[in-house]
Chains A and B, each alone.
Chain A
Amino acid sequence: MKGRLAVLLPVWAWLLVFVAAPAAILLAIALAEADSGVPPFRLAWSLTGFATLAEDRYYLDAVLTALRIAAMTATGCLLIAYPMAMGIARAAPGRRMLLLALLMLPFWTGFLLRVGAWIGLLRDQGWINGMLMALGITEAPLPLLYSEGAMLVGMVHSYLPFAVLPLFAALLRLDPTLGEAAADLGAGPATAFVTVTLPVTAPAAAAGFLLVFIPAAGEFVIPELMGPPEAQLVGRVLWQEFFQNHDWPVAAALALALLLLLLVPIRLFQRLEARP
C-alpha cells in the first residue's frame, strides 16, 4: 500500500496541477469579463463570453466550418486509407513491415515540413504551376494555394496514417475464412467485400474517421498556412481572439464550446476502442 502511494501520489499531483487546474482556470476565465488590464480580464460570474459566442454568427460559422472541414478531411482520409490498409494487410510479413515503415516515416519527418512541401508544390511559383506552364497546359499560374482544396489536401496528407492504422489492424485481424465462407456460399469478390469485409471492419473505419475528425476539428496551422483567408475555422478564430484581440474570456469560452462539441465523438471513439 505504501508502494502504491509512492507511485500514484506524484502522478496525481502532476495531473491535478497540469490537467485539472488548467481546465478549472479555463472555465473561470470563460466566465470572467474582458478588461483592458494585464492580464486582460476581471474574475466574475459573467456569461458575457458565452453570450458573445451565441450572438455573433461569426463564431457559430467558425464552429460549423471546422466541423465540415474535419468531416471532409476524415472522409478523404478513409477513402485513401482503405485500399492502403488492405494492401498492407495482404502483403507478406516482411514486405508488410516495410510498407508500415513507409507509412509511418512521414510522421517522423515533421508536420510543418510536410506543410512546407505542399506550399512549395501548390503556390503560384510552385512546382505544379511550373510544370503546367512548362508543358504549355496553362499560361498563367493557377491559384492553387490558399484555397479550401489546398487546405483539405494538406490536412488529409497530415492525418492519413491515423486512418490507415486502425483499418490495417482490423483487416489483419479479420478472419480470412469469412471471405472464403462468403465465396463458398456464392458471393463473388465484390459482393463478398461489400457484404462481409466492409461491415465487419466498419467499427475500425469509424474509429479511423474519429481519430482524424477529433484533432482536425481544432486544427489551426494548416488553415492558417494553406487555407483561404475567409476559412475562419474555430481553431484559427480562437487563436486570433487570444493573440490579436486579447479577448481571453471569448477565447476560453470558444475552447470550452469546442470541447463540448467534441465530447460526443470522443465518447464514441472511446466506446469503439473499448470493444473486445
Chain B
Amino acid sequence: MTRGRFVTLAMAAGFAFLWLPILLLVGYAFSADRIPFQWGGFSLRWFAALAADDRVIEAASLSLRIATGAASLAVLLGGAAGWGLARYGRFRGRALFGALIGAPLVLPEVVTGLSLLLLFVALESVTGWPAGRGALTVLLAHATLGAAFVAVVVQARLTETDRSLEEAAMDLGATPFIAFRTITLPLIAPALAAGWLLAFTLSLDDVVIASFVSGPAGTTLPMALFAMLRLGLTPEVNALGAVVVIGVGSVLILAALLLRRSDSR
C-alpha cells in the first residue's frame, strides 16, 4: 500500500512543520547565548531574566485576570444565548439575535477592535463611562468575543441533547428550574467548561483587539510580547515560550490522566 505510506509520510511532515519551531523555541530557552536560537551551553539565566522583568510579570498577571473575568462573563452570556437559540424556537428577532451573537466569529479582528474602540470613545463622551480605556474595556471586548464561541458550543450541545430528558424530569415531578438544575445543567456542563476554556485562551492570545481597546494602563501579555517582537527577538521570548508550552502541556497531560482515571472508575 504505497498510498498509505505516502499519507503517513505527508502527515508526519505536516506535524514536523507544526512542531519544529515550537520545540526549537523551547529548547533554545535553555541556551546561555545572548543571541536567541544559538547554542551557548546550558543555562537558566533567561528564565531568571524573565522572572525579574516586571513589565512581563505585570502584563501576565493582568492578562490572566482579564481572561478569567472575560471567560466567566462569556459563559454566562454565551450560555444564555445558546440556550435561547436551541430551546426557544422562533422567538421574535431570532435571526438578528443569531447574527449579532455570531458576528465576532466571522469579523476580522481589526474590524471588531476598531468598532469597539469607537464605541468606548463614543460612550465615554456621551455618558462619561467607561472613564478612559484599560483592563475593563479589554475585558468587555473579550467577553463579547468569547460569548460568540460559547454560544456555538452550547447550542450544538443542547441541540444534540434529547429534549425529552427534560420533559421526563418534569413528568416525574421536577419544576422547570429543578429539571434544568438536575438534568440539563449536568449534561451541558462539559460544553460550558470547554466554552470557558476557549474564551480564556482567546483572551490570553489576543493582541489586535486588545491593542485597539486598551489604554496606557492596560498592557496585556500579548501586547507586551508584540512590542518585544517588534523591537527584536531576545532569549526572554524563548524562556516565556518554554514556560507556556511546558505549563500548558503539563496541564493538558494532567487533565488527560484525571479524565482517564475518572473513566476507568
Residues in A whose Cβ lies below 8 Å from that of B115 = 22-23, 25-26, 255
CB-CB under 8 A for A8 and B88, given A21-B119, A215-B108: yes
Give the number of chain B interface residues (Cβ < 8 Å): 77
Residues in A whose Cβ lies below 8 Å from that of B144 = 14, 18-19
Residues in B whose Cβ lies below 8 Å from that of A84 = 10-11, 14-15
A127's closest neighbor in chain B, by CB?
B37
**Cα distance, A193 to B93, chains bound together (Å):** 45
Asked if B191 is an interface residue, CB under 8 A from chain A, the answer is: no
Nearest chain B CB to A275's CB is how many angstroms away?
15
Are B17 and A157 touching (Cβ within 8 A)? yes
Are B97 and A80 touching (Cβ within 8 A)? no
Interface size class of A (residues with CB under 8 A): 35 or more
A14's closest neighbor in chain B, by CB?
B77
A4-26 contacts to B (CB < 8 Å): 4, 7-8, 10-12, 14-23, 25-26
A152-198 contacts to B (CB < 8 Å): 157, 160, 189-190, 193
A-B CB pair tally, cutoff 8 Å: 227
- Chain A 77-91 near chain B by CB (<8 Å), digits 1 or 0: 000110110111010
Asked if A34 is an interface residue, CB under 8 A from chain B, the answer is: no
B108's closest neighbor in chain A, by CB?
A218
A120's closest neighbor in chain B, by CB?
B37
Are A220 and B22 touching (Cβ within 8 A)? no
B116's closest neighbor in chain A, by CB?
A22
Are B121 and A4 touching (Cβ within 8 A)? no
Residues in A whose Cβ lies below 8 Å from that of B4 = 90
**Cα distance, A54 to B17, chains bound together (Å):** 40
Are B19 and A19 touching (Cβ within 8 A)? no
Asked if B100 is an interface residue, CB under 8 A from chain A, the answer is: yes
Residues in B whose Cβ lies below 8 Å from that of A83 = 6-7, 10-11, 14
Are A125 and B19 touching (Cβ within 8 A)? no
A192's closest neighbor in chain B, by CB?
B3
Are B19 and A130 touching (Cβ within 8 A)? no
Question: Within the complex, which residue of B11, B110, B141, B233 is in contact with A238, where a contact is CB–CB below 8 Å?
Answer: B110
Are B3 and A113 touching (Cβ within 8 A)? no
A265's closest neighbor in chain B, by CB?
B106
B180's closest neighbor in chain A, by CB?
A3
- Chain A 223-253 near chain B by CB (<8 Å), digits 1 or 0: 0110000000001001100100000100110
Nearest chain A CB to B102's CB is how many angstroms away?
9
CB-CB under 8 A for A15 and B97, given A120-B238, A235-B108: yes
Residues in B whose Cβ lies below 8 Å from that of A218 = 108-111
Are B225 and A242 touching (Cβ within 8 A)? no
Are B84 and A11 touching (Cβ within 8 A)? yes
**Cα distance, A63 to B100, chains bound together (Å):** 25
- Chain B 233-251 near chain A by CB (<8 Å), digits 1 or 0: 1000110110011001100
Residues in B whose Cβ lies below 8 Å from that of A87 = 7-8, 10-11
Asked if A115 is an interface residue, CB under 8 A from chain B, the answer is: yes
